[in-house]
Structure 1
Amino acid sequence: MTQRNGFVREIQLPQIHDPRGDLTFVEGGNHIPFQIARVYYLYNVPVDSERGGHAHRELEQVVFALSGSFRMKIDDGTTKSEYWLRDPRKGLCISKMVWREMDAFSQGAVCMVLASHRYDEADYFRNYDDFLKALESETK
């Protein structure tokens, strides 16, 4: 299932509660709107650091805070919004052509990302003006 450009939504994964602790699972193509091609995570991020600062031409992602919290700043070229991730069951699904920045990491935060494609540097917009120009050319 491919989403339109600029699509962002929150998702919630299932939780199985047990006196011994909670369990959450994720299935690509079921809980996540794509088959998972890559998983990566960020940790030991200094609290004053910023991550992200890019958009993707084709890649879609779902971002989770497995531990701690951080802020996602989202920009689809028209609307800017912010999301605080702090619940490991709740993720932010980000389609292609969405600029994202991350900051305000809490001490010990762990960010996990599920991605629709393997790493490809050619898929990135790392310059915001180039991103905006690409959006503009798509609407013509």
Structure 2
Amino acid sequence: MEKNYIRRIMIQGTELIDIPKISDEEGRGNLSVIEKDSIPFKIKRVYYLYDVPSDAYRGGHAHKDLSQFLIALSGSFEVVLDNGFEKTKVMLNKPNKGLLIKKGVWRELENFSSGAVCLVLASDVFDEEDYIRSYNDFKLFVGS
């Protein structure tokens, strides 16, 4: 299996990464694999979001040290990214593409489609002290 991880920087502190897709020659579906060299951290926590109403949003915070890798396993959603100096919006809608969000990036997830599932791979276990939940505190943290 040839590994071809194509990475595109969205804004400083984030990357959109193509996860290799292995197609079955007999038409039995596709397989994608995330291994130790796929993302730049050891996975210490895995969780997923689902049944999110289309008018709701998730996130609304940044992390002091934690990095995350988000994948739309099913359906689609948008991720609004803000590093304190620039903003962008990324649509996640393919299970073989993931969004790496490093520490110090504010994120909001919105516009969930029906049946959307967001898988999150995190670099550490839950620690409330790592969260920055106020946007004003975030701006101070990044020095903007």
- TM-score normalised by the chain length of structure 2: 0.89
| Distance in 2, Cα, partners of 1:33 & 1:134 | 23
After TM superposition, give the deviation of residue 27 of structure 1 in Å. 1.1
Query: What residue is the counterpart of 1:23 in the other structure?
Result: 31
- Tell me the amino acid that sits aligned with residue 29 of structure 2: G
Q: Which runs of 4+ in 1 moved over 6 A?
A: none
Residue 14 (structure 2) pairs with residue 8 (structure 1): yes
Give the 5 Å matches for 1:1-140.
Answer: 6-18=12-24, 19-28=27-36, 30-136=37-143
Cα displacement (A) at 1:16: 1.1
CA distance, structure 2, for counterparts of residue 74 and residue 25 of structure 1: 25
Post-superposition shift, 1:25? 1.1
Aligned-pair CA distance for 1:96: 0.1
- Aligned length, in residue pairs: 131
**Runs of at least 5 residues in structure 2 that lack an aligned partner in the other structure:** 1-11
Aligned partner of residue 136 in structure 2, secondary structure: helix
- TM-score, structure 1 length as denominator? 0.91
- In structure 1, distance between residues paired with 2:28 and 2:73: 18
